[in-house]
Amino acid sequence: MTLDAREFRDAMGCFATGITVVTAKSNDGEKVGCTANSFSSVSLDPPLVLWAVAKNANSYDAFMEAKHFAIHVLHAGQENVSRLFATKDVDKFNEIGWTESQDGTPLLDDYSVRLECTTEHIYEGGDHVIIVGRVFEMDNPDVEPLGFYQGKYAKIVTE
Ligand SMILES: Cc1cc2nc3c(=O)[nH]c(=O)nc-3n(C[C@H](O)[C@H](O)[C@H](O)COP(=O)(O)O)c2cc1C
């Protein structure tokens, strides 16, 4: 059976996710950042997480080279940040507050959860590559996260 690409995409959009911005610095010093909802936790001990980067992303080479990266889970007020980091060929870091970690990774000032990671494994994943990171630093101010469902930003309601 051959799947219709549009129908497959729509079906995958029925899995509700949060939204992250993943950042890193390339070997030649360029800061990169990419909006990603492929993020998932993997292991508690050791603390491992994953995300998948598209092979046609401008930031692909930088993430392949980077020994470190940071994952920022966005909060409910950050739709604009999600849009910014999902836009190609703009100076993303000129539009937003950030600082540099000791290892040079750009860290956004605002987030719901921030994870600093070392690149642990890279796996082939079709038109994406799966990056597994080991978390070595974490900050969790515990604010309401931004949701994403069926291609739209969504509010997370808990009971
Ligand atoms: C909600 C949302 C989720 C996304 N998830 C991913 C993802 O998991 N992996 C990915 O490579 N791109 C993802 N993208 C697309 C990238 O954010 C987009 O292609 C971006 O322009 C990449 O930046 P770059 O080309 O500067 O690297 C997502 C976009 C949106 C709006």
Residue of 20, 35, 69 best suited for mutating to test ligand 1, as the one with most atoms within 8 Å of CB: 35
26 contacts 62 by C-beta, under 8 angstroms: yes
Rounded CA-CA distance 72/31 in Å is 15
For the chain, which domains are there? 5-155 (2.30.110.10)
The 10 Å CB-count burial string (b at 16+, else e) for 106-124 is bbbebbbbbbbbebbeeee
Computed over every residue of the chain, the mean pLDDT equals 97
Cα dihedral 42, 69, 106, 116, rounded to 10, equals: 50
31 contacts 16 by C-beta, under 8 angstroms: no
Confidence band, pLDDT 50/70/90 cuts, at residue 158:
confident
First-to-last alpha carbon distance for the chain, in angstroms, is 40
Q: What is the pLDDT of residue 78?
A: 98
**Quick one: which atom of ligand 1 is closest to the CA of 35?**
17
For range 85-108, the mean pLDDT: 97
* 83 Cα: distance to centroid of ligand 1 (angstroms): 9
| 52 close to ligand 1 (CB < 6 Angstrom) | yes
89 contacts 139 by C-beta, under 8 angstroms: no
Q: Which amino acid is residue 34, in one-letter code?
A: C
Q: What is the pLDDT of residue 142?
A: 85
Residue of 34, 61, 81, 127 best suited for mutating to test ligand 1, as the one with most atoms within 8 Å of CB: 34
pTM: 0.98
For range 132-136, the mean pLDDT: 98
Confidence band, pLDDT 50/70/90 cuts, at residue 119:
very high
* 35 Cα: distance to centroid of ligand 1 (angstroms): 5
Q: What is the pLDDT of residue 17?
A: 98
Q: What is the pLDDT of residue 159?
A: 84
Q: What is the pLDDT of residue 43?
A: 98
Q: What is the share, in percent, of the chain residues with pLDDT greater than 90?
A: 96
* 16 Cα: distance to centroid of ligand 1 (angstroms): 16
Token pair belonging to 48: 């491992």
